[in-house]
Structure 1
């Protein structure tokens, strides 16, 4: 049994980049392959005290006699290289992917007389040129489609090729210019092989040779006034540029920059960093940080930048979603040559939006992993039941929220979690009007009254769908709000005589749990599974209410733009919006198109068109996604 200390590399010699590492035994055999976002951090974990290591890990490091690593550009490259090495070396200590799926390759069959390019998940044959593996098959299909425009080599199967040879007529790809059609002699076998070699050369990274050649040919064709050929070459050049962009996202100014995106909620923050060098994304990293104080976005961004550059060199630009706190100190840490800023427009802003979307997705997946784990869900429900002094864990929880705009378009939402997971088929939404819409407590009273009356006296179902509307009574009702909202909900239960359903409210600011009649809230530990569950319930109810409110508000704003047109009543307004969706589309429609709507005659259609095109209406449009008025 080897002592890991005898082959442990010095910590400072291990890179902090993403990469793949291999442990070898005394005979040089690879016994374990792994990947890491940060090689130094990952590998140092293997050389801890043997007593703290897992039994399987302890056996691996004591069997090994050396470790080596390969640095790659991104985590995706690390994943694919790890997969390739596991397939190649079959290490004894590796656990295979759970689904043991294969990844697609792009293969050019240079061993055949007439080479063929195709995508396959099978092991390539001897003599084939292989590119990949790729993690997303749709991406390589798009790449191949673009490449065939420039390097129009054969991509058909042997059967299709022989059938075209016999018929003396090429297949569809030959007719549309995505195959040089060697099957019917439109190009010789030797010329086709040369074309396949050029395809392989380009895919191997020698791109500049072909882009410069096409640019030269395009200029020569334009100078000779052969504009059709020049346009075709221009399109070829655009296709190659798209291929290069798909292989690695490109910023047109070839800048060196780090893009730092961050999203947060009350408990955690998610940070994602894209490292762009020479205009191309060369690496990505990210982490979830627990928020244990009252840090805001600026404070968290300061900590993120300090973590990133305290021991490293910053690039020319650091693009962030939020200006860091103590900007002068952060700037001094990064150096005077580094520009820290929030991009306001253009492709850098767009790329930063992609980084931020990755951060948001990472936080969402982190929450799902917590709530998706059966043990965590069970503990969350047990802890919540104990905290609220319930006789048993609340297996069905319904959470209610109210949304409005300054008292208008008031709506309520009900989301349902069963066994700690969302039950979206049983989500419900409520439209609130009249006296019930005067404030949040009255609206909450109205919504809960309507819901709980179904619990006490469910209507006779006319269909299976109706039967499932309020399938089961909840074990616990959560309302979004503090003591006033809880008191309103308790009044409903008292009025209806309901005593078998628990009730609580969750206040946004400090994540406090309020119980009816209590002077002080229940404070759940910030790291407890119960708090994560309650927070997700509240966030889901809020999201569901906001989405309904925005759609209702947008519809109301659209309808108001049609008010005042003589002869256009509510039914005809609804019919117009059903047909054209937006006021802008109605305004742009011709009189003949307006007459296609039921109830709209020639005179009324002319009046509608005239009214909407007149001054004061012509600049009104509504964003249906947000319900906001644009212009006017």
Structure 2
């Protein structure tokens, strides 16, 4: 931990122009990105008396070890560059308004040959269009149930679709006309695609043409005395109207606007967004985030009823992030739509598709209504206008329907913050206490915000693997998990757990050690040319160290890992071992273990981390063991692929009988000639001789 005075730049060396600055830690990792109208004035605020800083800002400046800046031509450019760097570096101390993955949505898998509509929660995926979010799961399911009366889009899973395609008869939904049954050919790909486009167009806001068309067809059927058809169209019209009732008209039909409001306390802020399109509330979304402490007025105590002076800066950051992300996502979806359209054209062999593209909305509306204007409002309006490609009005409504709707959004923001505090107080308190318990027990200078733990898994020395799990702020960070195959300390039916721990520790920290010696590039991460074999839950790498590294085991395992630390010169990571029998915590230099109270929050957290490492290692071990057990003596024979292996086994009945056969007999099997038969015979008998 570096004191801010050790890396404080000389005041005269900081320019007074607008720009963007980055704070980096000892590992050259960017921990915070900010912007300023006047870099000298802004940066000087970070190097005042630490006791006067907001707690989060104080933690940031002590975590950092250097600061650097880039001068730009204007404040609008500073806004754009700040957003770009936040997206690139993902700094710990910046507020990130990421998509909330708990909101239920209605999704359409447009990437499939016959797209499917379904209920969904989770991160966005390619080839899927999302509508919502909705406030409750039942609202999604009821909307889907009602709309399939008018648009009988496929809703079944791939397995159900394939099963009924094989059977040649539709499922129940096909029989009651709530599915067009493309599985049995009632509609072809083009016909089903028209249904899908109408379905998505309705959800995108084109409801008026649908109601007019249904009303016209109903009246026409009634005049022609087709009463059953008219009754069905009447029911369809009622279903459409029922869906539209949830999207209450709150403003005139030509209004496209977003309404945004904040609710804050000393530490956190809740923001709510209502998206109004064609005068209807199409979606509602909300986030609760920690305040960075970098906002003006964050250190000031507010009197009851006074507005939070930090909200203008929060509003500025939110508008830039929210709409920049929305525009990027819209552009990506538009490119994906073009690719899918071209694929369909090639697949159908036609020059153009028969349907019209559904109406789309610009992710940046003409009007943005807020409860508090953002800081640097003119610059924000300029940036939003560039994102939209047209003028954007950013204002606080004073009277009328828009002001009334803003009050509703404010109430939702306050309620969201209240519910968040009620839900998180227990978990947050427990996690904070757990980290404090570990800090006190181990005598650390600060709480271990990042903890890593490794474990070994095998059965009698076979399929020896290791896991590495990561916890940050007491929560698992699964996209940083790693799993390893033990190469040097195990093999041929033997395994050395102590040596395996040393091997994994070396492979984990070797890159970090090399990066410290290398000259870092701009992004703070340089990787050596040597490939360190590891498998990960995503394709990203990390090199910055944990505060605490846990090995599963006692004194021998800790000593093995400490030997690696000494060899690599790792001195800024606390190492411990956690023995299962008595839950003893072993330190490298201590002859006696540290015993945490069995009921302490710190012990519970250490157990949770160790058990997660154990679970992850066992899962990988079982995967490798299952793959090995499915292997046969025929695997790896040159020229013998899966189809020929299958035909060969079917011809003889078993691998054992293949081994007993002569080369001439093997050559009589389907697809096996004399040359390949000789290779198979030689391979099997060479394996037997070994």
The alignment's TM-score, normalised by the length of structure 2, stands at: 0.34
Larger RCO (CA under 8 A, 6+ residues apart): 2
The alignment's TM-score, normalised by the length of structure 1, stands at: 0.36
